[in-house]
């Protein structure tokens, strides 16, 4: 971004919100420019980026937002996520804005942890947590080179933005704190994410279409390219969904690496928006089992369509290509639709995976969460909204045991699937609880009952 003015801010080490915001306002009013945070510790409450401004963290600069939800009462946003309506750094209706530099933003997640639930393997988060960066309806967005650590909630959330570039960003979040997604593109158009390193407990890179204050989809998500990124995630590393109120189309994920994750690639339809023209290409995966408090358990690929509420049919998933995928998994590949919307036109080619047993046995269940049950968890600690809920039998609702045992791939509710050069190496002899059928297809018989075929 070209800068017509340059304003340098030395590190004060104390709350310096007023000076930082005044510099941003001044640079924007003068036609645009760069506000540089020099080496040292900068403390702030919520700040708002303005048109034409590049907020630049110089080498050695550390930005430490105040770890208190009330500190962001003046930087609220319109799209609520996990009860959060606030961001540490926000912008709305701005043009040509950027967050750059090789400095670090330390987001202070520890102040937003209220307990530890070892039964599901997660910390218990506070009800109210700010997101780190929330940009709404902005055009010409650049986020590059910055290092963000220990986010209390979603890290980068871009909503209804166009002409977006996220490059060389490093995100390192606590691996046991839920909802700490790395990069979320929400109803964005024409965006590229490349050469990023992300390690987090929740989704690594996620495309979605949320619902707005008026109760309607905030828009469509389209023309997205994600490439050359390395992800570690205890939810889903490269993901579409689950919020899918508007359509999502023309998305490509390529030349990425997924390691130490419990789920690599995922597409999830829940809310009526159609998902189409999606391609995953040339991706290495390493997926392992986890406790049932995290979604998924060792799947290299999960595609599912579930009606979140009975009154709204989920949107179809159509025209999906998965090619040149290699690595290992402790779960199975799953393509499942329990909705009438269905999954159509899938091509899987040149898949080479090793399927190995895990230590927990959770890979022997397929995961349909979030379900309707997660919208209203029991008040006695039996669940968390939009995450997991236990039934009267103590089991997590939405985790289903594979009929006949765990296969290499499980396909149900799919119309039109082509498998080319798909090789999944399984142990010999098969472990207890594994299906001897490699690829299990579930189909409906004329009398309406369920039948299995190889």
Indicate the SS3 state at residue 332. Answer: coil
Length of the chain: 454
pLDDT value of position 291: 87
Spatial neighbors of 136 by CB under 8 A, at least 6 apart, are: 77, 78, 79, 90, 91, 92, 93, 159, 160, 161
pLDDT in tens, 329-370: 999 999 999 999 999 999 999 999 999 999 999 999 999 998
Are the beta carbons of 371 and 306 closer than 8 angstroms? yes
Beta bridge partners of 63: 42, 105
pLDDT value of position 377: 62
**Kind plus residue range of the DSSP H or E element containing 441:** strand 439-444
266: left (phi over 0), alpha (psi -120 to 50) or beta: beta
Beta bridge partners of 194: 167, 227
User: Does the pLDDT at position 450 exceed 50?
Assistant: no
User: What confidence category does residue 251 fall into, taking pLDDT thresholds of 50, 70 and 90?
Assistant: very high
User: Does the pLDDT at position 104 exceed 50?
Assistant: yes
Are the beta carbons of 270 and 241 closer than 8 angstroms? yes
User: Does the pLDDT at position 444 exceed 60?
Assistant: no
Q: What is the mean pLDDT of residues 394-420?
A: 93
User: What confidence category does residue 386 fall into, taking pLDDT thresholds of 50, 70 and 90?
Assistant: low
Least confident residue range of 41-45, 290-294, 374-378: 374-378
The chain-wide mean pLDDT, for the chain, equals: 93
Least confident residue range of 115-119, 134-138, 174-178, 218-222: 115-119
For domain 10-453, is the CATH number 2.160.20.10?
yes
**Can you tell me the distance from the alpha carbon of 71 to that of 311, in angstroms, rounded to the nearest whole number?**
39
Are the beta carbons of 195 and 174 closer than 8 angstroms? no
User: Does the pLDDT at position 376 exceed 80?
Assistant: no
pLDDT value of position 372: 79
pTM higher than 0.75: yes
CB atoms under 10 Å from CB of 258, counted, come to 26
pLDDT in tens, 265-285: 999 999 999 999 999 999 999
pLDDT value of position 139: 98
**Can you tell me the distance from the alpha carbon of 267 to that of 4, in angstroms, rounded to the nearest whole number?**
43
User: Tokens representing 13?
Assistant: 């080490």
Q: What is the mean pLDDT of residues 215-237?
A: 96
Are the beta carbons of 133 and 100 closer than 8 angstroms? no
pLDDT value of position 196: 98
User: Does the pLDDT at position 425 exceed 80?
Assistant: yes
**Please, what sign has the CA dihedral across residues 399, 402, 405, 408?**
negative
Q: What is the mean pLDDT of residues 145-174?
A: 98
Question: What percent of the chain stands above pLDDT 70?
Answer: 94
Of 136, 106, 147, nearest to 210 by C-alpha is 136
User: Does the pLDDT at position 108 exceed 80?
Assistant: yes
**Can you tell me the distance from the alpha carbon of 104 to that of 148, in angstroms, rounded to the nearest whole number?**
6
Domain ranges of the chain: 10-453
């Amino acid at each position: 971004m070209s800068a017509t003015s340059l304003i340098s801010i030395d590190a004060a080490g104390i709350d310096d919100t007023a000076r930082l915001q005044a510099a941003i306002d001044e640079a924007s009013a003068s036609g645009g420019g760069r506000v540089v945070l020099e080496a040292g510790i900068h403390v702030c409450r919520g700040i708002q980026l303005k048109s034409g401004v590049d907020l630049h963290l110089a080498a050695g600069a550390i930005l430490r937002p105040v770890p208190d939800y009330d500190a962001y009462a003046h930087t609220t946003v319109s799209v609520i996520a996990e009860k959060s309506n606030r961001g540490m750094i926000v912008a709305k209706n701005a043009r040509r804005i950027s967050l750059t530099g090789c400095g670090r933003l330390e987001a202070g997640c520890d102040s937003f942890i209220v307990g530890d639930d070892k039964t599901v393997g997660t910390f218990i988060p506070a009800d109210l947590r700010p997101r780190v960066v929330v940009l709404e309806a902005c055009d010409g967005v650049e986020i590059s080179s910055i290092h963000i650590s220990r986010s209390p909630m979603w890290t980068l959330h871009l909503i209804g933005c166009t002409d977006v570039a996220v490059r060389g960003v490093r995100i390192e979040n606590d691996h046991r704190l839920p909802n700490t997604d790395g990069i979320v593109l929400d109803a964005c158009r024409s965006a590229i994410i490349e050469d990023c390193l992300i390690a987090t407990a929740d989704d690594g890179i996620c495309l979605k279409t949320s619902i707005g204050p008026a109760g309607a989809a905030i828009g469509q998500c389209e023309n997205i390219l994600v490439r050359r990124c390395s992800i570690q995630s205890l939810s889903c590393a490269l993901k579409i969904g689950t919020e899918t109120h508007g359509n999502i189309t023309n998305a490509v994920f390529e030349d990425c690496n997924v390691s130490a994750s419990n789920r690599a690639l995922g597409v999830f339809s829940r809310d009526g928006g159609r998902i189409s023209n999606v391609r995953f290409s040339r991706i290495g995966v390493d997926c392992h089992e986890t406790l049932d408090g995290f979604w998924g358990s060792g799947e290299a690929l999960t595609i599912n369509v579930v009606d979140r509420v009975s009154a709204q049919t989920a949107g179809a998933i159509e025209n999906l290509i998965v090619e040149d995928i290699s690595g290992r998994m402790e779960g199975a590949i799953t393509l499942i639709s329990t909705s009438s919307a269905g999954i159509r036109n899938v091509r899987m080619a040149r898949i080479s995976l090793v399927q190995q047993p895990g230590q927990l046995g959770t890979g022997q269940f397929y995961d349909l969460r979030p379900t309707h049950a997660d919208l209203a968890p029991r008040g006695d600690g039996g669940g968390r909204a939009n995450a997991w809920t236990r039934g009267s039998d103590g089991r997590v609702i939405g985790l289903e045991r594979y009929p006949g045992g765990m296969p290499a791939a499980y396909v149900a509710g799919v119309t039109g699937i082509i498998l080319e050069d798909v090789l999944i190496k399984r142990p010999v002899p098969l472990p207890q609880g594994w299906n001897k059928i490699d690829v299990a297809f579930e189909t409906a018989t004329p009398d309406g009952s369920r039948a299995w075929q190889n």
